């Protein structure tokens, strides 16, 4: 009798734990779905023509060669810069592990190869995070500047624009492609990064 009672209690405890795990899993999926929707919405912004400045956010450099993610950012930024001759580019990214040159220098080289004059490129080569990218780049932007644009891979635009807006910049995001092989990892990491951003802002407020 005692054995049956213990077995029944264990069974109920297991069922309760499984039910709790299912609820948590559903809530996480709903939350990640919400974040994914925000990321997708951020891809479709009205991009102003003739912006005074364009910020390109850094990504990994393999030795001195831009990763595919970074190359896509360079390509997208150059398209805008070639069509808007008065726009100044701010290339933002420091030098990390395994990088022979800074991300900013890699972007500068890439833009020049695309036909962008070096005199139109400002280098910010100290930042190591998205927040630093924006805060350090902001130092090069005049207070009276017109609305600007920011270039990154599509999964990154929502958080980048949110941070820039919080820092007082009037800015729109231009999404570059994300390499297909990197999509699952990039999006999952971005869900976590956005969550961290939300929590940081909640603590600050």
Question: CB neighbours of 17 closer than 8 A, spacing ≥ 6?
Answer: none
What pLDDT does residue 126 have? 97
DSSP helix/strand/coil, 46? coil
DSSP helix/strand/coil, 117? coil
Superfamily (CATH) of domain 53-204: HUPs (3.40.50.620)
151, β-bridge pairs: 56, 174
DSSP helix/strand/coil, 153? strand
This prediction's pTM: 0.89
What pLDDT does residue 16 have? 83
Per-residue pLDDT of the chain (205 residues; tens, 9 = 90+): 555 666 666 777 778 888 889 999 999 999 999 999 999 999 999 999 999 999 999 999 999 999 999 999 999 999 999 999 999 999 999 999 999 999 999 999 999 999 999 999 999 999 999 999 999 999 999 888 888 999 999 999 999 999 999 999 999 999 999 999 999 999 999 999 999 999 999 898 7
| Distance separating alpha carbons of residues 132 and 112, to the nearest angstrom | 24
Alpha helices in 47-178 (DSSP H): 68-83, 103-113, 130-138, 157-166
Angle at 60 between CA 56 and CA 65, to 5 degrees: 95
DSSP state for residue 144 in the 8-state scheme: T
């Amino acid at each position: 009798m005692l054995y049956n009672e213990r077995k029944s209690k264990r069974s109920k405890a297991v069922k309760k734990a499984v039910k709790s795990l299912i609820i948590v899993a559903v809530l996480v999926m709903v939350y990640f779905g919400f974040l994914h929707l925000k990321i997708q919405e951020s891809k479709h912004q009205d991009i102003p023509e003739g912006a005074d400045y364009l910020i390109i956010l850094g990504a990994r450099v393999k030795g001195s060669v831009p990763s595919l993610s970074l190359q896509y950012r360079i390509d997208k930024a150059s398209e805008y810069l070639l069509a808007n001759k008065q726009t100044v580019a701010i290339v933002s990214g420091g030098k990390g592990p395994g990088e022979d040159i800074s991300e900013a220098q890699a972007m500068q080289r890439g833009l020049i190869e695309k036909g962008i004059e070096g005199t139109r490129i400002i280098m910010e080569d100290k930042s190591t995070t998205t927040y630093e990218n924006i805060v350090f780049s902001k130092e090069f932007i005049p207070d009276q500047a017109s609305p600007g644009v920011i270039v990154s891979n599509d999964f990154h635009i929502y958080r980048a624009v949110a941070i820039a807006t919080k820092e007082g910049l009037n800015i729109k995001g231009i999404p570059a492609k994300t390499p297909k092989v990197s999509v699952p990892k990039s999006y999952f990491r971005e869900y976590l990064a956005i969550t961290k951003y939300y929590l940081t802002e909640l603590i600050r407020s």
